[in-house]
Amino acid sequence: SQQGEEDPQALSIQEGENATMNCSYKTSINNLQWYRQNSGRGLVHLILIRSNEREKHSGRLRVTLDTSKKSSSLLITASRAADTASYFCAFVIGAGGTSYGKLTFGQGTILTVHP
């Protein structure tokens, strides 16, 4: 399967703590993205990191990408109860410009932040 794998499947932390989620994939990718999904709703794009980038920041989010290990991590710092959601990594397969951008998703990490 070309689907990504995410670890852990579920994460429970206290407000103020940091949350780290990991994603692994098996093929060459063009870029990797992280999405958040609140229960029963659509997905919200959080951040995109390209295959030639190693780290990217957006507010309290930090994403790293290690193409040699085919893995990425999402760090949420100083978590809040409102961060409670499912988080998915998704990637565009292919290293060239011919891909039309189809995303392949991981299975997700359920994050619960307790107040």
Partner 1 sequence: DTGVSQDPRHKITKRGQNVTFRCDPISEHNRLYWYRQTLGQGPEFLTYFQNEAQLEKSRLLSDRFSAERPKGSFSTLEIQRTEQGDSAMYLCASSLAYDRVLGGYTFGSGTRLTVV
Query: Which CB atom, from 44 or from 78, has the smaller least distance to partner 1?
Result: 44
Q: For the window 11-50, what string marks contact with partner 1 as x by the rule CB under 8 A? A: ----------------------x-x----xxxxxx--x--
Member of 4, 19, 63, 79 binding partner 1 (CB under 8 A): 4
Using CB under 8 A, which residues numbered 67 to 106 contact partner 1? Answer: 88, 90, 92, 97, 99-106
Omega into 8 within 30° of 0, i.e. cis? yes
96 exposed, middle or buried (CB, 10 Å; 0-12, 13-18, 19+)? Answer: exposed
**Contacting positions for partner 1 (CB under 8 A):** 3-4, 33, 35, 40-45, 48, 88, 90, 92, 97, 99-108
